[in-house]
Structure 1
């Protein structure tokens, strides 16, 4: 309940800031030392929020479906791609974290490259992946690979930190029980890593959405919210509110993915507390 109130409060603050700046901001934007650092506040660049909501209920084209239905279908398509990319990226991140925790030489040799991989601009990688995988994979699978590329990093780093979090006394206790590597991983390290893992999974979910949207735009994949943003952007001068409907859909999709991950957190964290009580 408290989390829902925080979400509603955040939405209210965003709406107040948007409409407040539109009320007092300059139609030409705020310029300082010749550089515009705040956007234009005219109706073409920043339509009223209620105008965007009204546009959701009107047909996309004359006689066509309402915009909200088109955006919903596009979000559902992108969600499927995001789910595949998220699962693939999470699995790769999990395997890398386990290997780096078990073998210190792997951590020293691999972790710098894991971090370096995230410094390469996605907009440059996406066309390359499309070219490499275009002959052996359908377009949606290529976009899923791009999404997993962004998703694996927070899982690998966050889970590695969690697997290394048990105290030395806890590890020694498992050794005194003659517990091997696998049993120590399952009984001690993985339960201890859950508080680190779920924030990483939420970041991975949001990153997978970003990767899927950018991948759809870069590869020209049709049917998703990324392609819809490009198509609606062509009408920015004549129908600016329509552009923001697609952006709103992408933002809500990211929140939805993070919410799904949060739902998985509740039973697993309850199980972790139960295990802690039993072991004590």
Structure 2
């Protein structure tokens, strides 16, 4: 007997959230793969123009500029260097682990700084009014411009190069945590704060027993953004650092040989993306362990003060 459409929709909605997320993620990846190959097929069929027009396509579809997806995957299991024994996947995996060290350190420092800044702002409206414009303006500075300065200053201070890269990573991580934590700390209703004060609770007790627990559901969406931002910051920071390892170095190296081996660069981009996805997945796992599903907020925080 065929089930009505409403019952099918209801049964699909009963799937656990993590399964729905996995299915959605898989479908998006498949759709992007189909779009990639369809665009390549169209360009090769029409001679590099839009069908029915003489307008050229924005990206060339030959194998030197846009290789097939299966060629990119196959390149991951071939030697990374000519005459070498180590396959590209292992080389990129080692580079990803090195980059993850800087990204994780920057994530921890930046998140702690951002959360501490939010607590300071909630306790001192004067500090918020005076410093919030500078916090926002800090994110308008091009990271590629300040990364070399941070690396040079870190070297002059005797910091290991990877730690200087972590500083750049933390620079991108603190902002979403600070803004969304501030929103979360302000989320308790006024009646709850008044009830705490009626029991002679100190400001410290109000903070630790009311405001911080209320802010946790707002904190984790920001931590997911901070996780991806820390990976981006670590990769950008590795570019001027002169490191011989790391995803930033791999991207720079394979970009110089793009015309002869574009699959390697796309493979490095793929591993960089996977590193960000894995990092966000670890934060999401911590969220599921610590925050009940009924208390979670949207994954994309509203940066409102």
TM-score (normalised: structure 1): 0.91
Partner of 2:7: none
Of 227, 230, 235, which residue of structure 1 is paired with 2:257?
235
What residue ranges of structure 1 are gaps of 5+ in the alignment?
Answer: 274-280
Alpha carbons of 1:71 and 1:29: their partners in 2 closer, same or farther (altered >3 Å)?
A: farther
Question: Which range is displaced more, 16-25 or 248-257?
Answer: 16-25
Partner of 2:93: 72
Partner of 1:7: 25
Cα RMSD after superposing both structures: 1.8
Q: Matches of 2:75 and 2:202 in 1, distance apart?
A: 61
What residue ranges of structure 2 are gaps of 5+ in the alignment?
Answer: 1-18, 296-305
Conserved 8 A contact 2:184-2:211: yes
Q: After TM superposition, give the deviation of residue 271 of structure 1 in Å.
A: 9.8
Q: Matches of 2:110 and 2:260 in 1, distance apart?
A: 40
Matched, 1:57 2:80: no
Partner of 2:35: 17
Partner of 2:135: 114
Of 260, 264, 267, which residue of structure 1 is paired with 2:286?
264
Alpha carbons of 1:272 and 1:176: their partners in 2 closer, same or farther (altered >3 Å)?
A: farther
Of 158, 181, 185, which residue of structure 1 is paired with 2:207?
185
| Structure showing greater Rg | 2
Matched, 1:126 2:144: no
Q: Matches of 2:101 and 2:281 in 1, distance apart?
A: 16
Secondary structure in 2 matching 1:233: helix
Partner of 2:126: 105
Q: Matches of 1:113 and 1:37 in 2, distance apart?
A: 42
Alpha carbons of 1:39 and 1:105: their partners in 2 closer, same or farther (altered >3 Å)?
A: same
Alpha carbons of 1:116 and 1:24: their partners in 2 closer, same or farther (altered >3 Å)?
A: same
What is the number of residues matched between the two proteins?
269
TM-score (normalised: structure 2): 0.84
Matched, 1:194 2:219: no
Identify, as 1 or 2, the structure richer in helix.
Answer: 1
Q: Matches of 1:196 and 1:98 in 2, distance apart?
A: 14
